[in-house]
Amino acid sequence: MQNGVRLLLPSKTAEFLKYGKFSTLMASLVKHKAEATLPTVYGKFRIHVFEDGRKKEHTALVKGKLSRGKPALARIHSQCLTGDTLGSTKCDCGLQLRAALGMIGKQGGVLVYLQQEGRGIGLANKIKAYALQDKGMDTVEANEKLGFRDDARDYSIGAAILRHLGVKKIRLLTNNPRKIGGLQDGDIEVAERVPLIPPAYRQSKGYMKAKRQKLGHLLGE
């Protein structure tokens, strides 16, 4: 770490440059900007704000003391304005966020909240994808119609934040195998996958089906 900035390991830097992922490399230059106590309905947390190499701000909520030896209960959550804040029933994002905060509030751990709206395509493009879904496309088809990958998120940012907090081993609250791989690529050991499947909204049935069948999320039948 140099001047508060956590860098990728040299081997990862070479790998990212080799495959032309310079934006991902820049996103992993994470700097700690601020922290304070945050009382919530889930308990009292420490809130940390980080800035990546593209000047995007990301947040970590920490409950209790994080141990270097014991796996921390962790959730890496990507921003979803419509689900997390506005109560949209098109997705399960808000449900997962609240369930994760409840578990971490009781057991201790960390929730990393990444500014990666719309699986990494941004809010305006996500709403364009919603418009295509209104015409019958599913979430994957809509993203691809707009010229994006089915999932454009970058978990190296979350891994860098965890490392900054001194966390190297986690029990990960997720149903997404890609998230596990992304964190492992960032030198975070995932000791256990903890399923996170709150009851879904009826209106999100098609979305949940696409997540399971096309994105490989482990949601059962």
Q: 151, 178, 193, 212: which is the annotated catalytic residue?
A: 151
**End-to-end Cα, the chain, rounded Å:** 44
Q: 153, 163, 187, 193: which is the annotated catalytic residue?
A: 153
Task: Indicate the pLDDT class of residue 13, thresholds 50, 70 and 90.
Answer: very low
- Tokens 């081997």, residue? 11
What mean pLDDT do residues 154-177 have? 93
Which tens digit of pLDDT belongs to each residue from 87-107? 999 999 999 999 999 999 999
- Which structural domains are found in the chain, ordered by start? 21-116+153-213 (3.40.50.10990), 123-148 (no CATH)
Question: Shortest CA distance to 165 belongs to which of 83, 47, 18, 56?
Answer: 47
Give the C-alpha separation, 143 to 121, whole Å: 8
Indicate whether 211 pLDDT > 90: no
pLDDT at 9: 45
Catalytic annotation present for 150: no
Catalytic annotation present for 68: no
Give the β-pairing of 43-51 and 57-63. Answer: antiparallel
Indicate whether 15 pLDDT > 50: no
Q: Tally the residues of the chain.
A: 221
pLDDT at 26: 54
